[in-house]
Structures are given as structure tokens and as C-alpha cells.
Amino acid sequence: MRLVRRGLRNIPRAVLLIVILLWVLVPMYFLVVTSFSAEGDLLPGLVLPTAVTLENYIGVFTGANAIWPALINSTVVTLASTGLALLIATPAAYALSHMRHKKLGRGLYLSFFVLRGIPPIALVMPFFLIFSRSSMLNTLPGLIIALTPLALPYCVWTLRVTFDQIPKEVEEAGAVDGAGKWRMFTSVVLPIAAPGIAATGILTALFIYVDYIIVSPLAGPSTYTFPIYVTSFSQDFVQLVGPLSAASIVGAIPMAIMFIVSQRFSRRLASAGIH
């Protein structure tokens, strides 16, 4: 009797779970099936496919329109912008963490939050006009420069929390040993903050990797990143859905790696933030 009652209580929960699973997985199912289907085959609804082919994946890796240049560009641009942003954001976040009990320090910190909300469209237009005069359109350095301001405020904002969590005793011990401010930062604080910096870096990289609005006007045929490469399949509704789906799934692999690696820190980071 108790079992039955417990079963009845779980029915709404089970129904909800099934509805959510359908919502999440049905589009996923079509994406995967399309990536294994021959050119232009769309399923007649939610059924099993009749034939499976690998030609879309082979095309993504070897064809004339292969994924490699886009993936290489994405990797270079993502690593460089994220690295640059972390390099200048980390000391600033450290300073702001020390200044957080002063009015000025708090105001500066909050101003980075406001900077985070700057519409990318307001940045990409001037970058486009500047770059078109200094022949930096369609260059990787141009993309790296234009993507860094997106990452910078976010890094400062997130990293301060990491530094806030370092107990003051650590630095006081360093101060007793007579370490200068810079030595304290590089040899005492940074090693402790490294996991937090890594997690921030990975999440930043994730958002730089998927950026479209900044890269799209500034990139040219030789500097297309992965998100732009994917849109090259959008012209043809029928012929290109297979390669598109295959490319989407291949492009999800770096996302998954970044995600899994960041989970190692960021569950901790998230919970540390929420404590």
C-alpha cells in the first residue's frame, strides 16, 4: 500500500521528466540523425532512419570546405584573446579584492559590471571602421584585439570573487616574511588562485569561441572562425543540412572538453560563489 502511494506521488514528477526529456532530446535526435543521412534527406517525423552514411563527417574533415582552417583560426583567436584578457584582468581583480571595503574600490568593481553590459554592436562598428583604414580587416590580430574587450570586464568581475576567498592569514604570513607586494602576488597569491583563474579562463574561452557578432564583420575568407564556418551551410536548405549537422556535432567537441574541464573547477567555483 505504501509502495503504491509512493508510486502515485511520483507520477507528476515522471511526467514532467518525460516532457523535459522530449523537449531536450527530440531536436538532438534530428541533429544526430541528419548528420548520418545522405544529402537532403529529412526524416518523415520522429522515426528511425533507414540508411546510415558517414559521408557528411568525411566531408567535414577532408572536403574542399573542410573544417580545419576554421578550427585553427578559432583556436588561435580564442587562446590569444582569453590569454590577453586574463593577463590584464588578474592583477586588477587582485587589487579590487583588496580595495573592496573602500567606496572607490567597490565603485570601480561595479563599473566593470556595467562595462560587461556594453553592446558588442557598439564596439564592432568602430573596430570595423578603424580596421578598414589600417588594413586590419581579415587578420587574426584584428580579431584578437576586437574580442578582448568582451572578455576583459567579465574576467575582472569573476576573478575578484576568487581572490576574495583567499584567507587573509595567507597574505599576512607572507607579509611577515617580508615579501613585497609584487612578490606576494606572484609567488603567494597566484598559485592559490590558479584553479579559479583557470575556471574563469575556460568559461571566457567558451564565450569567445562561440562569438559571432564581433567576428562576422571583421573576419574574411582566410580568418573565418568556426561559428562563421557553420553559417556557410545556411544558404542551401536541402543539400547542406547533412554537412551542417556533422559540423555542428564536431564543433561541439571543443565545447564539451572545455565544459568538462571547467566543471572540475566551476562546480566548486559556483558553489564557492553561492555559499
Partner 1 sequence: MTEATAQIPPGAVKSLGKPAPRRRGIASVNYWWFLIPAMIGVFALIAVPIGFSVYFSLRNYNLQLGSDSFAGIDNYVRLLTGRNADFIAALGRTLLYVVVVIALDFVLAMSQALLLFSMRAGWAKFWRAIFILPILIIPTASAVFWRNVMYAPHNGEFLKVLGLSDVVSPPLGDPQLAFWAIIVTVVWAWSPWVFILLSAGLDQIDKSILEASMVDGATYFQRLRTIILPLMKPVIFVTLSFKALDSFLAFPFVWIMTMGGPGNSTHVLSTYIYQQAFTLLDYGNGSAMAIVMLVISGGLSIAAIFIWQRFYGKEA
Residues numbered 191-210 forming contacts with partner 1, rule: CB under 8 A: 196, 199-200, 203, 207-210
Angle, helix 68-98 to helix 241-274, in steps of 10 degrees: 10
Q: Please report whether residue 185 would count as binding partner 1 according to CB under 8 A.
A: yes
Identify the residue among 213, 220, 222, 264 touching partner 1 (CB under 8 A).
Answer: 213
Q: Please report whether residue 145 would count as binding partner 1 according to CB under 8 A.
A: yes
- Name the nearest CA neighbour of 124 among 207, 243, 217, 52: 217
Sites for partner 1 among residues 46-65 (CB under 8 A):
46
Identify the residue among 67, 77, 86, 152 touching partner 1 (CB under 8 A).
Answer: 152
Instruction: Supply 115's cell numbers.
Output: 562595462
- Give the helix ranges, DSSP H, for the chain: 2-35, 55-62, 68-98, 103-116, 120-133, 140-164, 168-176, 181-183, 190-209, 215-218, 226-231, 241-274
Q: Please report whether residue 186 would count as binding partner 1 according to CB under 8 A.
A: no
- Give the helix ranges, DSSP H, for 99-189: 103-116, 120-133, 140-164, 168-176, 181-183
Instruction: Supply 135's cell numbers.
Output: 588594413
Identify the residue among 5, 51, 101, 221 touching partner 1 (CB under 8 A).
Answer: 101
Sites for partner 1 among residues 104-143 (CB under 8 A):
106, 108, 110, 113-123, 125-130
Q: Please report whether residue 26 would count as binding partner 1 according to CB under 8 A.
A: yes
Cβ closest to partner 1, residue 4 vs residue 104: 104
Q: Please report whether residue 162 would count as binding partner 1 according to CB under 8 A.
A: yes
184-188: long-range contacts (C-beta < 8 A, 24 or more apart)? Answer: 185/91, 185/94
Q: Please report whether residue 245 would count as binding partner 1 according to CB under 8 A.
A: yes
Q: Please report whether residue 228 would count as binding partner 1 according to CB under 8 A.
A: yes
Q: Please report whether residue 72 would count as binding partner 1 according to CB under 8 A.
A: no
Sites for partner 1 among residues 250-269 (CB under 8 A):
251-252, 255-256, 259, 266-267, 269
DSSP 8-state secondary structure symbol assigned to residue 119: -
Cβ closest to partner 1, residue 66 vs residue 92: 92
Opening angle at CA 150, ends 147 and 155, nearest 5: 120
Q: Please report whether residue 189 would count as binding partner 1 according to CB under 8 A.
A: no
- Name the nearest CA neighbour of 232 among 252, 254, 213, 248: 248
Q: Please report whether residue 18 would count as binding partner 1 according to CB under 8 A.
A: no
Q: How many residues does the chain have?
A: 275
Interacting span for partner 1 (CB under 8 A) from 48-56, 61-69, 134-142, 248-256:
248-256
Identify the residue among 62, 187, 222, 231 touching partner 1 (CB under 8 A).
Answer: 231
